[in-house]
């Protein structure tokens, strides 16, 4: 079996971060479903060979889609996606046919039943493990077992796989008719200064994959991620495609530039005057505690100095970026550039998420930030994909 023979489907696909990483790992996307049009347009632009459907998944006929794709049951290698899972448990506070969250995860199971793929991948937030004291996760694993899948769960730190960001994600992986080997989850390859701030135990077992003592590669820093991008002033737009001002200075930048003709989605949001004033008081690695009280929002004037340590933060160039959210609003995190008096651009946020520069985000700037923030980091998805592919190859 050659690399291009591994086929996958991506449900709840978003802009395509998970698909981008799986594609880099050697999987070929056949079909993707996404309900938000702006996200689907970005996916289509960057994955033109994939059949992308913009629709509510509840309106899709899984059996019909399988037939249209021309594949038999049990032929698909991987069914991937990030379905909302909270509320699936029978112990949910309100058990009702009106609970939209229940239906959405059941839609994923409906596709599992229709395609009977060799492997399944579900991505979610770390809080899934502790939701309802683990009842939801138990219900998910039991539902997969009922469909014939041996599944397991791990929480992966993106920085352990080269992503320059403090981000954790839960992955549920499963194999049809087999127990899932531990090798299905990728081993961390970098050390990074991250610590779990969530429940990391399930059924008495630790779920977080930590680097081994032999792992000595250093994490990718903020400066590694973005120092080769064109400098900008607050609110500066410039040309749609910008030239790289310097040669790449590290492997991360060289990887990011592969296939790129220039820097796209790199326009500086315009900060308000009050935020510009606040920014003058913040050193790299600093935060809101350096800002004079009179310049702080009223609610933060009463806050303890130990609270909200990321708000109005200016990132340290030798550290990791804050978790990239759906908007890089300084009020919610460390989204000020370490040396330029402005907040991050969409491209910088995408670099922190490990998207390659040839990946173009469509729509308005706010929609682009949302697409980036909601995505699975491609480098993390790539690591998971390579591990799954290795297990599938052994099963041939």
pLDDT digits (tens, 9 = 90+) for 120-174: 999 998 888 888 888 889 989 999 999 999 999 999 999 999 999 999 999 999 9
pLDDT for 360 beyond 50:
yes
Residue 91: per-residue pLDDT? 44
Pairing assessment for the beta strands 51-54 and 27-34 based on DSSP bridges: parallel
Q: What would the two tokens of residue 396 be?
A: 């041939």
Q: Where are the domains of the chain?
A: 3-216+377-394
Residue 128: per-residue pLDDT? 87
Mean pLDDT of 278-290: 93
Strands in the chain per DSSP E:
6-11, 27-34, 51-54, 78-81, 119-124, 149-157, 168-176, 201-202, 205-206
pLDDT tens, residue by residue, 361-394:
999 999 999 999 999 999 999 999 999 999 999 8
Is 85 considered catalytic here? Answer: yes
Q: Report if pTM > 0.85.
A: yes
The C-alpha angle with vertex 3 and arms to 383 and 170, in degrees rounded to 5, equals 25
Class of domain 3-216+377-394: alpha beta
Distance from CA of residue 223 to its chain's centroid? 20
pLDDT tens, residue by residue, 22-77:
999 999 999 999 999 999 999 999 999 999 999 999 999 999 999 999 999 999 99
Mean pLDDT of 114-121: 98
End-to-end CA distance of the chain: 8
- Is-contact 166 95, C-beta < 8 A? no
DSSP type of residue 217: P
User: Is the pLDDT higher at 185 or at 103?
Assistant: 185
Compute the mean pLDDT over every residue in the chain, rounded to the nearest whole number.
92
Q: Compute φ and ψ for 122, nearest 5 degrees.
A: -125, 130
Residues 6+ apart with CB under 8 A from 312: 278, 279, 282, 287, 288, 291, 330, 331, 336
Q: Which helix (H) or strand (E) holds 23?
A: helix 17-24
The catalytic position among 85, 227, 250, 328 is 85
Mean pLDDT of 258-262: 95
């Amino acid at each position: 079996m050659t690399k291009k023979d591994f086929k996958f489907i991506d449900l709840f696909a978003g802009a395509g971060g998970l698909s981008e990483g799986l594609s880099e790992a050697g999987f070929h996307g056949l079909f993707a479903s996404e309900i938000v049009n702006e996200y689907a347009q970005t996916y289509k632009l960057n994955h033109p060979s994939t059949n992308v459907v913009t629709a509510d998944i509840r309106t899709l006929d899984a059996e019909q889609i399988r037939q249209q794709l021309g594949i038999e049951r049990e032929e698909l290698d991987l069914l991937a996606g990030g379905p909302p899972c909270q509320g699936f448990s029978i112990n949910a506070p309100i058990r009702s046919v009106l609970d939209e969250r229940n239906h959405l995860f059941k839609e994923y199971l409906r596709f599992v039943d229709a395609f009977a793929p060799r492997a399944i991948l579900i991505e979610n937030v770390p809080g899934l493990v502790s939701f309802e004291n683990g009842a939801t996760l138990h219900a998910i694993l039991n539902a997969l077992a009922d469909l014939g899948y041996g599944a397991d769960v791990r929480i992966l730190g993106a920085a352990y796989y080269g992503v320059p960001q403090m981000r954790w994600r839960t992955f549920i992986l499963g194999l049809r008719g087999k127990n899932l080997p531990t090798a299905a989850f990728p081993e961390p390859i970098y050390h990074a200064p991250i610590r779990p701030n969530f429940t990391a135990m399930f059924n008495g077992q630790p779920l977080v994959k930590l680097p081994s003592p032999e792992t000595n590669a250093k994490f990718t820093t903020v400066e590694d991620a973005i120092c080769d991008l064109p400098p900008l002033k607050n609110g500066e737009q410039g040309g749609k495609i910008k030239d790289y001002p310097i040669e790449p200075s590290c492997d991360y930048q060289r990887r990011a530039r592969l296939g790129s003709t220039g820097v796209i989605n790199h326009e500086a949001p315009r900060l308000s005057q009050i935020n510009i004033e606040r920014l003058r008081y913040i050193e790299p690695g600093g935060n809101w505690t350096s800002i004079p009280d009179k310049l702080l929002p009223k609610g933060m004037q009463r806050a303890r100095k130990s609270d909200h340590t990321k708000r109005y933060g200016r990132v340290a160039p030798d550290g990791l970026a804050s978790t990239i959210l759906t908007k890089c609003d300084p009020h919610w995190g460390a989204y000020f550039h370490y040396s330029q008096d402005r907040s991050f651009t969409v491209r910088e946020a995408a670099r922190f998420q490990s998207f390659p520069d040839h990946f173009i985000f469509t729509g308005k700037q706010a929609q682009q930030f949302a697409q980036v923030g909601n995505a699975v980091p491609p480098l993390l998805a790539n690591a998971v994909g390579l591990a799954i592919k290795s297990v599938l190859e052994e099963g041939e």
